[in-house]
Amino acid sequence: MSRFWRKLRLTLEMIKFEHSVFALPFALTGALLAWRDANFEIPDLRYRLMWIVVAMVAARSAAMTFNRLLDADIDSRNQRTANRHLPAGHLSTGFAWGFTTLAIVIFLWASRELGRLCLLLAPLALGILFFYSFSKRFSTYSHLVLGFCLGMAPAAAWIAVRGTLDARILWLTLAVTLWTAGFDIIYSCQDYAFDVAEGLFSIPRRFGIAKALWLARIFHVSMVAALIALVISFHLGVLSFIGILAVAVLLIYEHGLVKPDDLSRVNAAFFTVNGYVSVLFFIFWAADILLHRAAA
């Protein structure tokens, strides 16, 4: 058993399990918006929120492990990633495949608990998540595919709460897609030389690091615009606007950390700042939603 728990710990380290925080707050925001805008009571909201969290974490775990398995050979040739668990031999591919299968089963189970439509859409969601790992091999714009993988979360959470989809929540899907694509572009700048040497696809490789960073800025400005459209479409309050302002300030800070000739602080920009973006966004928006619901 000790060997099993050690392998499980290594797997969670490999997929950076703690980074589930990136998309989870946006999924919970989608769920709360669905609850706020309902003209009827949702008595099992807490139950649904619990299964939304389970589904989100399981789906991300399956997708990340699958991505690591598919990229193991490439990672072994990249100095930056050669010490990852699979190429370094710290974890077996058999255990990683087993973990992926288990995560898929848990995701499907959670989808079943969230309703028939969620279960029907679950295979499609998994297909999109797994497709990202292949898109990097032929598309310059795989960053947007990754963005959409996270962007599905708030729309999926809305469906989980209401059983249908409201087009307004797609503003949040767009915002998360652009946010994720933007910070993934920044992160991939580290591998510019490797991508060129290996013939791999990425926006930095296609346009160069300086232009890629400008595209990341454009994506993040567009993200803020999408959030403003979301506020207007749902008639949200002042706290939501403050949340957008906090996000904008953090994104400005993030872009200030990275320059074309100095990528030494990419990890701080990618991991730390974006964690604050998602958490602060959720705090302000959840407070706005809860205050509105209490006053209704």
Is 270 a residue whose pLDDT tops 80? no
How would residue 1 be classed by pLDDT, with cut points 50, 70 and 90? low
CATH of the domain at 160: 1.10.357.140
Q: Residues of the chain with pLDDT > 90: what percent?
A: 81
pTM: 0.94
Residue 272: pLDDT band by 50, 70, 90 thresholds? confident
What is the average pLDDT value for the chain, to the nearest integer? 93
User: CA-CA distance, 11 to 3, in Å (whole number)?
Assistant: 12
The residue segments making up the domain with residue 72 are 2-295
Give the whole-angstrom CA distance, residue 188 versus residue 177: 16
What pLDDT does 296 receive? 63
- DSSP conformation class of 154: H
Region 190-205: mean pLDDT is: 92
pLDDT at 43: 79
Give the number of domains in the chain. 1
Q: What percent of the chain lies above the pLDDT cut of 70? A: 99
Measured CA to CA, the distance from residue 160 to residue 163 in angstroms comes to 6
Measured between alpha carbons, how far is 109 from 119 in angstroms, rounded to an integer? 8
pLDDT at 267: 83
* Lowest-confidence pick of 39-53, 89-103, 230-244, 249-263: 39-53
Q: Which two tokens stand for residue 224?
A: 């803020």
Instruction: Report whether 251 contacts 231 (CB < 8 A).
Output: no
Write out pLDDT tens, residues 41-64: 787 889 999 999 999 999 999 999
pLDDT on residue 19: 80
Secondary structure of the chain: what % helix, strand, coil (to 5)? 80, 0, 20
CA–CA dist 296, 131 (Å, integer): 43
Burial class, 212, CB count within 10 angstroms (exposed 0-12 / middle 13-18 / buried 19+): buried
